């Protein structure tokens, strides 16, 4: 929290926390609702669900975990983590080409 | 010996030590769950079939609500400590623990439902899912034969479409029967496969139980830490209130991460 820990500021952020909490509940309903809509292919349904989940998790990380106003040390740690996480997922996607041609591929 | 930098920030990091520690730990947790998500992708793409609609969506949605609520209560506990409202902070901490227990209770009920839900195949190649009368746990064909059971009474699930949603005909039929499914006898000699929804039944359940089991352990761990803080902080609050606040902040950061993981687990396992 650093410099933003005065009682006045905390009181203001309590309101923000409640709004974010409500937004997350709405986001959950949205996720369930979207799963019942046929967006044309499973790939699109997965994309929509992951976009909503990413927005929700950004709200949690940004506001509840105070990442919108943190110290450099934490940003540096997370940047490293993000790099390796993306690399892991990229390797996963890359390996898709390695499935034997006779195996069926389903989404 | 006093532990350094429990309250005051270190000059080089600008943070108290526990906060650096929890973020490094969370970084490792991202990679742990990341590896499992990667496994999920590989298993799903490499599988010949991927089941849909086998989990209870209303229960899963409710549990998501419970976990989100607990994320709000834990951050409110921290905010109240910052405002020096110790009593109120303890109340929010207790509410968070209650939410954690509710989440685990509901998850256990969901697990139990899977252990009485059957997938069977008959000699004519027909495949069905449903319940055996009396809701026995973990029955297999081997166990039925060993017990010399001649027939089972089986109620098949309503028909579902490819995406796991009940078909209109199935809904109408269910309405006509007022939600009660009809049990029909099936000879054990006519069965070729009997299994509950255990990890060995399908790759989907293997990754489902691995991911939700590991997540559940995190919920349990977080609840234990918060219970410790709730029960044993009165003395420290009188001498080092900022240290108690920092402890709740660190526990809260872990808790939000657990919530964050669930935000991805819920659609991936229940809805897609």
ipTM score of the complex? Answer: 0.89
Min Cα separation A49/chain B (Å): 7
Q: Is the pLDDT of residue A107 over 50?
A: no
Confidence of residue B52 (pLDDT cuts 50, 70, 90): confident
Q: Are residues B90 and B40 in the same domain?
A: yes
Does residue A1 belong to any structural domain of this protein? Answer: no
Confidence of residue A99 (pLDDT cuts 50, 70, 90): low
Confidence of residue A6 (pLDDT cuts 50, 70, 90): confident
pLDDT score recorded for residue B57: 94
Query: Percentage of chain B with pLDDT > 90?
Result: 81
Confidence of residue A103 (pLDDT cuts 50, 70, 90): low
Does residue A48 belong to any structural domain of this protein? Answer: yes
Q: Is the pLDDT of residue B124 over 50?
A: yes
Mean pLDDT value across residues B49-68: 93
Residue of chain B nearest A38, judged by CA positions: B163
Does residue B19 belong to any structural domain of this protein? Answer: no
Element at A88 (helix H, strand E): helix A72-94
Does residue A104 belong to any structural domain of this protein? Answer: no
Does residue A103 belong to any structural domain of this protein? Answer: no
Alpha helices in chain B, H assignment, sequence order: 17-46, 57-82, 86-114, 141-146, 168-176, 203-231, 234-239, 241-266
pLDDT score recorded for residue B184: 93
Is any Cβ of chain A less than 8 angstroms from the Cβ of B263?
A: yes
Domain carrying residue B217: 30-114+202-271
Q: Are residues B134 and B185 in the same domain?
A: yes
Mean pLDDT value across residues B162-178: 67
Q: Are residues B255 and B153 in the same domain?
A: no
> Which two structure tokens, joined as six digits, stand for B114?
């899977």
Q: In this complex, how many residue pairs, one in chain A and one in chain B, have their CB atoms less than 8 Å apart?
A: 137
Q: Which residues of A touch B42 (CB under 8 A)?
A: 92, 95
Contact A10 B30 (CB under 8 A): no
Substitution target from A50, A81, A84 for chain B, most B beta carbons within 10 A:
A81
Mean predicted lDDT score pLDDT of chain B: 92
pTM confidence score: 0.91
Q: Is the pLDDT of residue B68 over 90?
A: yes
Smallest CA-to-CA distance from B69 within B86, B92, B88 is with B92
Q: Is the pLDDT of residue A104 over 80?
A: no
Q: Are residues B39 and B105 in the same domain?
A: yes
Q: Are residues B165 and B225 in the same domain?
A: no
Q: What is the CATH number of the domain that holds B102?
A: 1.20.120.80
Query: What's the total number of domains in chain B?
Result: 2
Spatial strand order of the sheet with B184-187 comes to: B184-187, B151-156, B127-132, B117-122, B191-196
Mean pLDDT value across residues B58-87: 96
Does residue A105 belong to any structural domain of this protein? Answer: no
Does residue B1 belong to any structural domain of this protein? Answer: no
SS3 B123: coil
Domain carrying residue A76: 7-98
Does residue A81 belong to any structural domain of this protein? Answer: yes
Cβ–Cβ under 8 Å, residues B247 and B233? yes
Predicted confidence (pLDDT) per residue in B188-247, tens digit: 999 999 999 999 999 999 999 999 999 999 999 999 999 999 999 999 999 999 999 999
Contact A92 B31 (CB under 8 A): no
Q: Are residues B101 and B216 in the same domain?
A: yes
pLDDT score recorded for residue A8: 84
Contact B46 A103 (CB under 8 A): yes
Query: What's the total number of domains in chain A?
Result: 1
Does residue B211 belong to any structural domain of this protein? Answer: yes
């Amino acid at each position: 929290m650093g410099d933003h820990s005065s009682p006045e500021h905390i009181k203001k952020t309590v309101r923000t926390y409640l709004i974010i909490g409500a937004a997350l509940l709405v986001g959950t309903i949205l996720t369930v609702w979207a799963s019942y809509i046929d967006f044309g292919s499973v790939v699109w349904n997965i994309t929509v669900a992951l976009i909503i989940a990413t927005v929700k998790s950004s709200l949690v990380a940004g506001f509840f975990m105070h990442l919108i106003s943190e110290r450099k040390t934490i940003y540096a740690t997370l940047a490293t983590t993000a790099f390796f996480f993306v690399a892991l997922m990229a390797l996963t996607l890359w390996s898709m080409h390695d499935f034997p041609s006779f195996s069926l591929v389903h989404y | 010996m006093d532990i350094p930098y429990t309250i005051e920030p270190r000059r080089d990091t600008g943070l108290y030590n526990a906060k650096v520690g929890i973020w490094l730990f969370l970084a490792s947790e991202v990679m742990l769950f990341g590896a499992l998500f990667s496994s999920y992708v590989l298993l799903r793409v490499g599988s010949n079939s991927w089941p849909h609609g086998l989990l209870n969506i209303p229960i899963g949605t409710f549990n998501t609500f419970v976990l989100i609520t607990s994320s709000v209560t834990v951050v409110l506990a921290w905010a109240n400590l910052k405002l020096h409202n110790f009593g109120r902070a303890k109340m929010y901490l207790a509410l968070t623990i209650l939410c954690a227990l509710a989440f685990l209770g509901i998850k256990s009920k969901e697990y139990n439902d899977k252990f009485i839900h059957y997938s069977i195949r008959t000699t004519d190649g027909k495949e069905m899912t449903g319940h055996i009368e009396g809701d026995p746990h973990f029955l297999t064909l081997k166990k039925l034969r060993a017990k010399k059971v001649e027939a089972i009474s089986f109620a098949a699930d309503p028909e579902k479409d490819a995406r796991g949603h009940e078909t209109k005909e199935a809904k109408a039929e269910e309405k006509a029967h007022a939600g009660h499914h009809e049990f029909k006898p099936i000879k054990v000699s006519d069965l070729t496969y009997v299994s509950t929804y255990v990890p060995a039944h399908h790759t989907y359940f293997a990754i489902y139980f691995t991911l939700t089991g590991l997540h559940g352990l995190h919920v349990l761990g977080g609840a234990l830490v918060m219970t410790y803080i709730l029960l044993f902080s009165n003395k420290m609050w009188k001498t080092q209130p900022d240290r108690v606040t920092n402890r709740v902040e660190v526990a809260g950061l872990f808790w939000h991460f657990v919530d964050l993981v669930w935000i991805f687990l819920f659609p991936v396992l229940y809805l897609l």
